[in-house]
Amino acid sequence: MATKTLLLNHSFTGDLARVYDSILDFRNFGQLHPYMVNVHELKKTDKNGMAYKVNEEVLLLGFLKMRPEYNVEVLEIEKDKHVRYVSNVKGGIVLVIDFNFVYDKNTNQVELAEHIVVKGNRWLIAYFISVLKKAHLQLFDNLARSLLTKH
């Protein structure tokens, strides 16, 4: 089993609560995600997190339609500072994403560091992480735009 890590950093001007809620509530995250077509809340988990069922629709290699379905556990590690997603995505890919927030109330600036670890077949994760990076950059552009339009 191979492991690959990806680090992404995002900056937002706006309310920490709105940015944080977009990550903590996976239904909100799914609305911003370019491939997620349905996110359904399942239940509280043993680790005091929340489990969600996710349906995606993505074009593999640009033409092969894939409809992965998987569960995600969302854990609030530290309120307003750290959220973790854990999921076993289609094809035996294990995905762990840690979101770390830093908020400067004087400038109303939210810095969000995204630490992504993907484990699985070496060839699958290389492609998977490229698709994930593209999706997350688009997702966080969507979030930035939504912060400008919603008050």
Q: Is 3 exposed, middle or buried (0-12, 13-18, 19+ CB in 10 A)?
A: exposed
Calculate the CA dihedral of residues 143, 29, 65, 70 and round it to 10 degrees: 160
- pLDDT for residue 115 is more than 90: yes
Contacts 24+ apart (CB under 8 A), 58-64: 58/131, 58/135
DSSP string, 75-107: EEEETTTEEEEEEEETTTEEEEEEEEEEEETTT
Q: Which residue has the tokens 């995002």?
A: 10
Nearest-Å Rg of the Cα atoms of the chain is: 15
- pLDDT for residue 106 is more than 80: yes
* Structural domains for the chain: 2-149 (3.30.530.20)
Q: Are 97 and 84 in contact (CB under 8 A)?
A: yes
Other Cβ atoms less than 10 A from the Cβ of 112: the count is 22
pLDDT tens per residue across span 3-22: 999 999 999 988 899 999 99
What's the pLDDT score for residue 151? 52
What's the pLDDT score for residue 11? 95
Residue-averaged pLDDT of the chain: 91
